[in-house]
Amino acid sequence: MASGLPIVSTRVGGIPEVLDTRGAELIPPANPEALAKAINKLMVNKKKIAFAHKQFPHIIQQHFSEESMLSKTAALYCQQILVNDRQTTND
């Protein structure tokens, strides 16, 4: 995504939640026919190519940069500390 190229990926794990399909194709795993079709489809889909080129680098920077991930991780830890403190106080 950071390179601004359209993506073909399998629909496994957390990939569908992370990948913006406006610039990508999701296919079932272990399906070479679907892979070939998705690659061919992306090669001629100017909208998806343009979206990937313009938006994917921004999406990566906004949601998956080191700064963004550290900030989200710190917020998660702080939230968990607050929850633990409340549970300890109520016990």
pLDDT digits 0-9 by tens, 9-61: 999 999 999 899 999 999 999 999 999 999 999 999 999 999 999 999 999 99
What count of Cα atoms within 13 Å lies in the side-chain half-sphere of residue 36?
3
Give yes or no for residue 91 having a pLDDT over 80: no
Give the model's pLDDT for residue 86: 86
Alpha helices per DSSP H over the chain: 15-18, 32-44, 46-64, 66-90
Give the model's pLDDT for residue 4: 94
- Cα torsion at 69, 70, 72, 74 (round to 10°)? 160
Note whether 4 and 50 are within 8 A (CB). no
pTM of the model: 0.70
What count of Cα atoms within 13 Å lies in the side-chain half-sphere of residue 84?
6
**How many other C-beta atoms lie within 10 A of the C-beta of residue 11?**
14
